[in-house]
C-alpha cells in the first residue's frame, strides 16, 4: 500500500518533477556481469526513433557503459575525437561548454547541439559539463534532429542514459587517486522492494588541483571540487505500464581561468599572472518522471521535465596583473517542458509517430563590471566606476511534430521516411543598465522587448536494408536555430541576432561482416548554412556578442570500425573529416586606435575556415583480455587509445591555430571476482598543445592542454 501511495504522489507532483521520455536501456541479469555483449543487440530502440538504431537512416555513435568505464570517460569533453567529428574544447570553466558536430556549434548563448540526460532536455550550455556516474550508454546522433528533438539541435543530439533500477542489482564503490591531487570517490546501490519495484542511489565526489601557477600570488589556477548525487525509482505497474523517476543534484566549485600570455606571432608562451581571484560556482538540479504505456495498437509516452541551476562567476577580465577590469556574474535559470507522443507498435507496411511539445524557460542574470585604477590611469575611463546590468529573459514555445516510415516499397527492404515539425517560440528581454560612481548611481539605459519565431522543419530519407545488419541510406533535413538577445552590446543593432538555417544532405551505410566480428559505419555529408550566428568581441572589448554571417558551407565524412579478430581482443577506429568555410562573410566594424579613438573598418572573412572546428578527428583504441585459469586473478585487461585532433583555427580571421596533435592513453586492469584494480596514464608522451586561444585588449592568451596524468583506481562490487 505504501508503495502505491508513493507512486501516486510522484505522478500527482507534475509541477515539481518531470516526465522524461522513455528509453530502452541495456538489460543485465546481474548487477555487473562480465559477459561481453553486442551493444546494438541489447539497445533495441532509441527513445525517439522507435526503431532499431542499427537499422535507422542516420549517422550515430553509441558508447556503452563498459567502454565508458574502460576509457575513463568522466564528462562530455572526454568524448572529443572518440566520436567522429565531435569536438568539445576543454578550457575555462563549466560555464564555457560549447559542443561542435560537423562544424556546427555555438560558443555563447543557446547551444546548437541538443543534450538530453535520462530524457531531460538541457537547454543551457552552462549545464553541459557535468560528472558522468553510473552511465549505461551515450548516443550521439549527427546531423539535424529537429523533427523529433526540436529546438537547437541543428548539429545533432547527445542522449545520455544512466543505469535503471531492476536492470541492475547490487552496489559498487570506486576510489581513485592520481597526480595533481586528482582524487575521486563514488558509490552506488541498486535495490529492489519486489520484482516490480526498484530503486537506486548514486553519490560522487571529485577534486583536483590546477595545472598552472599564478605568478602574482603563486597559487594554482584551474582546480575544482565537485559533489554529485542521484536517486532513481522504477515501478513496472504491469506488462504495459513502466514508470521511472529520477532526481539529481550537482555542486561545482572551480578556481580561476589558467590563461597564459601568448605571442601569436612568435609562438612564445608567457606566464599566468592575475591580480584578482577568479572563481566559478554552480548548483544544478534535475528531476524527471517517465511514463510509458503500451496500448493494444500504439504506444503513449508522456514526458515532462524540470531543471534549475544557479551559478556565480568572478573573473579578472583582463587576465593580467594590471588593475583594469573585474566582472561578477550571477544567473539562475528555471526550465519546464512537456512532451506527449503517440507511436505505432511495430507496423508492417508503415510505422508512425506524432507528438506535441511545450516549454518555459526563465532566466535572470546580473553582471557587475568594475573599471579599476589602471583604466583611469590609461584615461580609458574618467573615474573609478562600475556598470550594473540586469537581464530578465523569459522564453516559452511549443511544437507539433510527426514522422512516418513506409516499409517495403516496391521491393522488400526498401523504405522511406518523411518527417516534419513546426516550432513556435516567444523570447522576451527586460534589460537595465546602471552606472555606479563615487557621486552616485545613474541609469544608463533600459529596454523591454520581445521576439517571435515560427519555423517549419522537414526531413526525408530513403534506405535499403540488405539484411538485418547492413543498409545504405540517403537523407535530407533542414536545420534551424532561433534568434535571440545578446547580453553584451555597444549599439542597438548589436542587441539581437536572427535565426540561422541549414540544408543538410547525407548518404551513408553500415554493415556487419565475419559473423559480426567486423562492424563498419560510413557517411558523407554536405551542409548549406544560411545566416549563420557567429561570435564577435565588442569593439569596446567589454564582452562578446552574436551576429549573423552571410553563407557558410561544411562538408565531410565519417568512418568507424570495430573488429574482434581473435577471442579477447577488441579494436576500434573512429575517424571524422570536416571542411567548414565561410562562403560569404562581410560586415562593418570599429577598431580602437592607440589614442583610444574608434575607427570604422570593413571586415571580409569570406573563404576562411570556421573557428573551433577540427579538420580531422581520429581515435584508435584496443583492449586485450588475458584470462588466467587456476590463478589468484581472473583476468588482466590491457587497454590503450590514441586520440588525434587538428587543425583547429581559433578565430574567424584565421590568425591563430593549433596544428594536429595526438594524445596517448593507457590502462591495465586486474580483476578478481568482484574486485578490480586499475593503473592508468593519460597523455603519456606529455604532448604540448593549446586547448584554447583568445584575444583580450590587444593581447593573446592561451590555455594549455592537460599534461601527463597518472593514477590508480580500486573498484569493488557487492
Query: Could you tell me the sign of the dihedral formed by the alpha carbons of 314, 316, 318, 324, in that order?
Result: positive
pLDDT at 537: 80
Distance CA 557, CA 22 (A): 31
pTM of the model: 0.91
Query: What is the mean pLDDT of the segment spanning 119-135?
Result: 93
Do the strands 268-269 and 260-263 form a parallel or antiparallel pair, or are they unpaired? antiparallel
pLDDT at 158: 96
Instruction: Give 553-563 pLDDT, tens digit per residue.
Output: 999 999 999 99
Instruction: Give 208-221 pLDDT, tens digit per residue.
Output: 999 999 999 999 99
Cβ neighbours of residue 339 closer than 8 Å, sequence gap 6 or more: 19, 21, 301, 302, 303, 304, 355, 356, 357, 358
CB 316 within 8 A of CB 274: yes
Query: What is the mean pLDDT of the segment spanning 508-531?
Result: 96
Query: What is the mean pLDDT of the segment spanning 316-328?
Result: 89
CB 556 within 8 A of CB 536: no
| Model confidence band, residue 81 (pLDDT cutoffs 50, 70, 90) | confident
pLDDT at 597: 73
Distance CA 48, CA 573 (A): 27
| Model confidence band, residue 433 (pLDDT cutoffs 50, 70, 90) | very high
**What is the grid cell recorded at 275?**
591580480
pLDDT at 713: 98
| Model confidence band, residue 596 (pLDDT cutoffs 50, 70, 90) | low
Cβ neighbours of residue 301 closer than 8 Å, sequence gap 6 or more: 21, 22, 290, 291, 292, 293, 339, 340, 341, 343
pLDDT at 384: 66
Q: Is the pLDDT at 183 greater than 90, yes or no?
A: yes
Query: What is the mean pLDDT of the segment spanning 306-331?
Result: 92
Alpha carbon 40 to chain centroid distance? 23
Query: What is the mean pLDDT of the segment spanning 518-542?
Result: 90
Q: Is the pLDDT at 346 greater than 90, yes or no?
A: no
pLDDT at 378: 60
Identify which has the larger pLDDT, 623 or 349. 623
pLDDT at 397: 97
pLDDT at 377: 67
Distance CA 52, CA 55 (A): 5
CB 156 within 8 A of CB 102: yes
* Percent of the chain residues topping a pLDDT of 70: 91
Distance CA 200, CA 277 (A): 39
pLDDT at 429: 97
**What is the grid cell recorded at 557?**
565524412
pLDDT at 51: 61
Query: What is the mean pLDDT of the segment spanning 309-321?
Result: 92
Q: For Cα atoms 93, 95, 98, give the angle at the middle one, nearest 5 degrees.
A: 100
Q: Is the pLDDT at 276 greater than 70, yes or no?
A: yes
* Percent of the chain residues topping a pLDDT of 90: 75
**53-57, 204-208, 464-468: which has the highest mean pLDDT?**
204-208
Domains and CATH numbers, the chain: 14-717 (2.40.170.20)
Query: What is the mean pLDDT of the segment spanning 119-134?
Result: 92
pLDDT at 5: 35
Least confident of 94-98, 321-325, 500-504, 535-539: 535-539
pLDDT at 41: 38
pLDDT at 602: 87
| Model confidence band, residue 544 (pLDDT cutoffs 50, 70, 90) | confident
CB 621 within 8 A of CB 572: yes
pLDDT at 591: 73
**What is the grid cell recorded at 79?**
568524448
Q: Is the pLDDT at 305 greater than 70, yes or no?
A: yes
Backbone phi, psi, residue 182, to 5°: -80, 95
Q: For Cα atoms 553, 96, 318, give the angle at the middle one, nearest 5 degrees.
A: 105
Instruction: Give 233-251 pLDDT, tens digit per residue.
Output: 999 999 999 999 999 999 9
Q: Is the pLDDT at 293 greater than 70, yes or no?
A: yes
Distance CA 453, CA 79 (A): 33
Distance CA 617, CA 690 (A): 16
Instruction: Give 404-424 pLDDT, tens digit per residue.
Output: 999 999 999 999 999 999 999
Q: Is the pLDDT at 256 greater than 70, yes or no?
A: yes
pLDDT at 454: 96
Query: What is the mean pLDDT of the segment spanning 672-683?
Result: 97
Q: Is the pLDDT at 592 greater than 80, yes or no?
A: no
Distance CA 403, CA 188 (A): 39
Instruction: Give 2-41 pLDDT, tens digit per residue.
Output: 344 333 333 333 333 333 333 333 333 333 333 333 343 3
pLDDT at 324: 86
pLDDT at 540: 73
Distance CA 83, CA 77 (A): 11
pLDDT at 381: 63
H or E, element range at 2: helix 2-12
| Model confidence band, residue 697 (pLDDT cutoffs 50, 70, 90) | confident
Distance CA 124, CA 362 (A): 11
Q: Is the pLDDT at 538 greater than 90, yes or no?
A: no
Mean pLDDT score of the chain, rounded to an integer? 89
pLDDT at 8: 34
| Model confidence band, residue 150 (pLDDT cutoffs 50, 70, 90) | confident
DSSP letter for each residue of 485-554 = E-S--SSGGGSEE--EEEEEEEEEEEEEETTTTEEEEEEEEEEEEES-EEEEE-TTSS-EEEEE-SEEEE
Distance CA 645, CA 440 (A): 52
| Model confidence band, residue 345 (pLDDT cutoffs 50, 70, 90) | confident
Amino acid at each position: 500500500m505504501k508503495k502505491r501511495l508513493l507512486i501516486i504522489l510522484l505522478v500527482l507532483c507534475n509541477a515539481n518533477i518531470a516526465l522524461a521520455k522513455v528509453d530502452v536501456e541495456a538489460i543485465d541479469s546481474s548487477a555487473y556481469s562480465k559477459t561481453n555483449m553486442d551493444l546494438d543487440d541489447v539497445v533495441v530502440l532509441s527513445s525517439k526513433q522507435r526503431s532499431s538504431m542499427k537499422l535507422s537512416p542516420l549517422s550515430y555513435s553509441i558508447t556503452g557503459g563498459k567502454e565508458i568505464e574502460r576509457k575513463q570517460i568522466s564528462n562530455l569533453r572526454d568524448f572529443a575525437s572518440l566520436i567522429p567529428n565531435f569536438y568539445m574544447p576543454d578550457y575555462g570553466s563549466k560555464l564555457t561548454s560549447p559542443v561542435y558536430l560537423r562544424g556546427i556549434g555555438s560558443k555563447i548563448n543557446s547551444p546548437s547541439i541538443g543534450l538530453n540526460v535520462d530524457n531531460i532536455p538541457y537547454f543551457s550550455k552552462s549545464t553541459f559539463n557535468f560528472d558522468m556516474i553510473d552511465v549505461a550508454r551515450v548516443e550521439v546522433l549527427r546531423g539535424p534532429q529537429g523533427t523529433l528533438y526540436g529546438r537547437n539541435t541543428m548539429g545533432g543530439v547527445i542522449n545520455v542514459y544512466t543505469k535503471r533500477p531492476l536492470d541492475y542489482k547490487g552496489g559498487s564503490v570506486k576510489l581513485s587517486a592520481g597526480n595533481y591531487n586528482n582524487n575521486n570517490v563514488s558509490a552506488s546501490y541498486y535495490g529492489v522492494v519486489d520484482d516490480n519495484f526498484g530503486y537506486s542511489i548514486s553519490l560522487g565526489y571529485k577534486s583536483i588541483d590546477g595545472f598552472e601557477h599564478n605568478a602574482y600570488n603563486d597559487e594554482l589556477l584551474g582546480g575544482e571540487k565537485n559533489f554529485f548525487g542521484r536517486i532513481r525509482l522504477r515501478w513496472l505497474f504491469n506488462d504495459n505500464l513502466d514508470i521511472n523517476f529520477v532526481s539529481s543534484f550537482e555542486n561545482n566549485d572551480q578556481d580561476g581561468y589558467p590563461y597564459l600570455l601568448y605571442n601569436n606571432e612568435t609562438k612564445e608562451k608567457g606566464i599566468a599572472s592575475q591580480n584578482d581571484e577568479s572563481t566559478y560556482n554552480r548548483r544544478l538540479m534535475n528531476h524527471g518522471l517517465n511514463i510509458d504505456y503500451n496500448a493494444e495498437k500504439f504506444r503513449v509516452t508522456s514526458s515532462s521535465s524540470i531543471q534549475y541551476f544557479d551559478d556565480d562567476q568572478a573573473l579578472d577580465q583582463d587576465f593580467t596583473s594590471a588593475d583594469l577590469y573585474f566582472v561578477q556574474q550571477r544567473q539562475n535559470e528555471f526550465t519546464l517542458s512537456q512532451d506527449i507522443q503517440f507511436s505505432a507498435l511495430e507496423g508492417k507496411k508503415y510505422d508512425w509517430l506524432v507528438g506535441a511539445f511545450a516549454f518555459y524557460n526563465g532566466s535572470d542574470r546580473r553582471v557587475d563590471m568594475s573599471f579599476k585604477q589602471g583604466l583611469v590611469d590609461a584615461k580609458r575611463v574618467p573615474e573609478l566606476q562600475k556598470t550594473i546590468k540586469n537581464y530578465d529573459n523569459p522564453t516559452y514555445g511549443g511544437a507539433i511534430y510527426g514522422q512516418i516510415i513506409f516499409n517495403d516499397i516496391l521491393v522488400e527492404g526498401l523504405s522511406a521516411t518523411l518527417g516534419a515539425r513546426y516550432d513556435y517560440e516567444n523570447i522576451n528581454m527586460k534589460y537595465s543598465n546602471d552606472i555606479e560612481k563615487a557621486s552616485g548611481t545613474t541609469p544608463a539605459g533600459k529596454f523591454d522587448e520581445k521576439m517571435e519565431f515560427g519555423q517549419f522543419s522537414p526531413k526525408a530519407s530513403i534506405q535499403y536494408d540488405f539484411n538485418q545488419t547492413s543498409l545504405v541510406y540517403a537523407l535530407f533535413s533542414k536545420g534551424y536555430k532561433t534568434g535571440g538577445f545578446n547580453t553584451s552590446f555597444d549599439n542597438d543593432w548589436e542587441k539581437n541576432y536572427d535565426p540561422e538555417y541549414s540544408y543538410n544532405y547525407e548518404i551513408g551505410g553500415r554493415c556487419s561482416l565475419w559473423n559480426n566480428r567486423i562492424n563498419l559505419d560510413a557517411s558523407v555529408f554536405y551542409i548549406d548554412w544560411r545566416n549563420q550566428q557567429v561570435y564577435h568581441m565588442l569593439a569596446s572589448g567589454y564582452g562578446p556578442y552574436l551576429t549573423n554571417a552571410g553563407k557558410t558551407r561544411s562538408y565531410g565524412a565519417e568512418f568507424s570500425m570495430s573488429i574482434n579478430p581473435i577471442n579477447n581482443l577488441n579494436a576500434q577506429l573512429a575517424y571524422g573529416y570536416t571542411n567548414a568555410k565561410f562562403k560569404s562573410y562581410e560586415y562593418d566594424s570599429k577598431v580602437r586606435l592607440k589614442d583610444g579613438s574608434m575607427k570604422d573598418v570593413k571586415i571580409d572573412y569570406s573563404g576562411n575556415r570556421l573557428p573551433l572546428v577540427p579538420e580531422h578527428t581520429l581515435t584508435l583504441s584496443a583492449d586485450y583480455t588475458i584470462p588466467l585459469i587456476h590463478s589468484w586473478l581472473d583476468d588482466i585487461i590491457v587497454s590503450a587509445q590514441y586520440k588525434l585532433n587538428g587543425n583547429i583555427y581559433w578565430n574567424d580571421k584565421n590568425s591563430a591555430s593549433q596544428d594536429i596533435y595526438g594524445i596517448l592513453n593507457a590502462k591495465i586492469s586486474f580483476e578478481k571476482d568482484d574486485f578490480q584494480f586499475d593503473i592508468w596514464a593519460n597523455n603519456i608522451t606529455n604532448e604540448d598543445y593549446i586547448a584554447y586561444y583568445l584575444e583580450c585588449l590587444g593581447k593573446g592568451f592561451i590555455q594549455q592542454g592537460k599534461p601527463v596524468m597518472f593514477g590508480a583506481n580500486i573498484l569493488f562490487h557487492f
